[in-house]
Each structure stands twice: as structure tokens, then as C-alpha cells.
Amino acid sequence: MIASRTGLSRKEAKAAISAGKVTVGGEILRNSELKVDENDEIFLECKKINGKSHIYIVLHKPKGYVSATEDPQQKTVLELVPPELFRNGLFPAGRLDKDTTGLMIITDDGDFAHRILAPRKHVSKKYAVTIDLPVTSAMEKGFAEGIELNDGVCKSALLEKTGENTCFVTLSEGRYHQIKRMFGCFGAKVTELHRLAIGGFTLPGDLPEGKCRELTDEEVALIEKAR
């Protein structure tokens, strides 16, 4: 459990136990074969171990980070996860471009990630978009009808104008650079892109850019709520 819930290897976890750095129920643990469950109070060097089978983290992604588990040349979103939330097997559920900001989910639950990303699940993603041209009614109509890209026609998307050059766009699929490519069909360039929501869950207003926290069970359920 310690190895899977932290960044330690199994060898390092066993060494920590042998050194008396782990307590279970307030008692120093010496036997690494002890059976435990997620309800046990487990501490490693006075830091509580999250014993849940899976973890779900919301990140307010800033610019400059790639949506990957590792990259030899660029900073990844996993570098923003604090030690108390980090565990082996974490990955970003879906991707945001390096220059895109906003809501990102990081987890170690592959089934959950599939459920929120699979097109047939129709879990929506909402974005705040700024483009270099005025938002037009032709764009609204085109998004609603489905724009044809070089990899096929997009599903209907909702475009809501919020200003001369700004709007909200809600998608139910996630193709590569989809929003940028859709606006490109109208000769417009996306200058700012910020994800606001996934399903029924909206990026918390009190979560600063570059910070993350664990999601509650209720929030995880909202993410899977198709809209």
C-alpha cells in the first residue's frame, strides 16, 4: 500500500518500515507483510497515507506545462502534484495543450478516465475562448450543425457569445486541437483557451492557478454526469 500510494518503490517502502518510519493505528510497524485496508490510520514519517484504492485530483493548470506523465525536455502537469497527493500510477485524464489553462483531472483510475473521455459517454467539456476576430452568428450556426474537419464532421457543439471576441464553447468530444481547428475553419485564431468544466463539475473558483487538491466523492460523481 505504501509503495502504491506514494512515490516510493517497494524496496524503499520496506526500508522505511524496517527503519521504524511507519505507524499503523499509532503503533510503529515492523512487519511489512501486515494486512491493512484503506480505513487504517497509516503514517509515513508523520505524514498520513491516503489508503483509498484510487485518487482523483483537480488541478488548475497554468500555461507552460504539458499533459504527460513524463517529458525529458518540458515540465509536466504531474510536477504540480504535491507530495501528500502524489502516488505511483498518476496520469492526466485527458489533455490540455501547453498554452491552455484551466480544469484538469489527474488520477490513477484508468476506468474512470475512460468513462469521462469516451465519446459515447457524452461527458461535456466547457471552455472559455478568446479569438482574434469577432464572434459571429455564422460561427454559432456552424458549431451547432457540426463543422467538417479533415478527420470527419464534428459533433454538434454549443457556442455562446460572451463578448466581441469571446465566447463559451461546450464540446462532447475531444479531438486533437479541436476548438482551434473549428475556429480555423472561419479564418479565426484562438488566442486564449481555458477549460471551465467537465460534465457537471466546474473548476473551483478558490483554487489558484498551478494548485491542486483531492476531489470529494460528490465531485467525482459530478464529473461523470453527462450534460
Residues 190 and 176 in one domain: yes
- Residue 201's pLDDT is 96
Residue 26 is part of a domain; what is its CATH number? 3.10.290.10
Please list the residues that pair with 170 across neighbouring strands. Answer: 126, 158
Residues 193 and 132 in one domain: yes
Catalytic residue among 97, 132, 151, 217: 97
pTM above 0.85, yes or no: no
Residues 82 and 60 in one domain: yes
- Residue 132's pLDDT is 98
Residues 64 and 43 in one domain: no
Residues 114 and 62 in one domain: yes
- Residue 49's pLDDT is 82
Task: Confirm if 100 and 195 have CB atoms less than 8 A apart.
Answer: yes
- Residue 176's pLDDT is 87
Residue 105 is part of a domain; what is its CATH number? 3.30.70.580
Beta-strand pair 101-107/190-198:
parallel
Residues 42 and 71 in one domain: no
Residues 107 and 148 in one domain: no
Residue 156 is part of a domain; what is its CATH number? 3.30.70.1560
Active site residue 206: no
Start-to-end C-alpha separation, the chain:
36
- Residue 100's pLDDT is 97
Among 64, 72, 127, which residue's Cα sits nearest to residue 98? 64
pLDDT per 10-residue tile (average), the chain, 227 residues: 83 92 90 84 85 90 96 96 90 94 97 87 92 97 94 93 98 90 97 97 97 95 81
Domain, as residue range, for 21: 2-48
Q: How far apart are CA 169 and CA 129, in angstroms?
A: 7
Residues 216 and 111 in one domain: yes
- Residue 226's pLDDT is 63
Number of domains in the chain: 3
- Residue 19's pLDDT is 92
Residues 75 and 176 in one domain: no
The per-residue pLDDT for range 135-154, each reduced to its tens digit, is 999 999 999 999 999 989 99
Residues 194 and 142 in one domain: yes
Q: How far apart are CA 193 and CA 190, in angstroms?
A: 7
Sign, CA torsion 126/130/135/139: negative
